[in-house]
Structure formats: structure tokens, C-alpha cells
Structure 1
């Protein structure tokens, strides 16, 4: 009878703790790092006066003038649009470079 119990336990699969344990600890680390990043941004922008170009692609809008308010999250700001545009241009450029490398490799090796 004990052989039956051990074989059933071996085929039962992982427990919830084994599955969700790493997810929980990963979430805790990510939450801590996000808090550290937000604190660094807040401290930086309250102590230094940057040029407008730096403020356009930063979280200045959310961290200082509207700190603690959720109202700015209901609208898309110019800063967010600029950041998304820059990210899209960088992503497109890097993907096109990858395609170019595939094309060059194809013609060089005659594939």
C-alpha cells in the first residue's frame, strides 16, 4: 500500500508553491526596483534643473507637477507621445538592420 501512495505522490505534479513561488519573489524584486527607480526620479528632478529637452523625454510631468494625482494618467501627454515615437524609431531601425543582415548573409552564402 505504501508503494501505491509514493507512486501517486510522484505523479501528482508540482504544488502551487513550486509554481507560484518564483513568480511571487520576482514580483517582489520588481516592485522594489520600481520603487527605487521612482524615488531616484523624484529626488533627481527636485534637486536639479534640466534643459527642456531632457524633461520632454522623462517622467518629470508625472513626478513633480502632478505628484500623487491619478488625473494625468487619464490622458496621453506630449512627453509620452515623444517617448513612444523615439522607441518606435529605435525598434524599427534595429529590426531593419536585422533584416539587412539576413539579406546580406543570404546573398553571401548563396542561400
Structure 2
């Protein structure tokens, strides 16, 4: 007799660390080790207007463009699409798993 298919109930809370899923020898880890963009935001702050839609975070933009360059992605929009399917890219861009990065790179929820 064939028993009923057991459907797993989705967990209410997940304990998940993106850090654990990026291999230690991944090329992006080597780049990240030497990449310090902590001064970018304060340096560029005077260039941003206090009116209108919030702009994309400059550190995120630089990380995504660098990711595209290192991976041979020629489009500025394509890295955002790639981030959705590659946890190493998500990690490199310092995105939280609860953040949304739209393909048109117009909106990223701040962490």
C-alpha cells in the first residue's frame, strides 16, 4: 500500500547564515578581504540631494559594478539579476536575505 505523500510544513523561523554558504576559497572572498568602502558614503554624502527618491547606496552600487566587472558582466543591470541566484554575490554585496534588490536597481530596502 502506498502511503500519502508527506508534505513538510514550512518553518516559521529559519536560522541561516549566508557566510556559511560562501566557500572560503571563493574569489570574491579574496576581493572582499582588501576592499574597504567604509569611507565612500560620508565622502559622497554632499553630492546627494535631500529631496526626491532615495538613491541606491553608493557602497552597494560600487560592489555590484565591481562584481559585474570581475564576472565579465557587461550590463549595469545584469548584476542585480545575478545576485538573486548566487549567494556568493548576495554576500559580496553585503545584502541581508530579507532585502529586495530589483532588476532595475531602483530600489533596495536599507538594512
What is the TM-score of this pair, normalised by structure 2? Answer: 0.28
Tell which has more relative contact order, 1 or 2 (C-alpha 8 A, sep 6+).
2
What is the TM-score of this pair, normalised by structure 1? Answer: 0.28
| Structure having the higher Rg | 1
- Flag the structure with higher helix content: 1
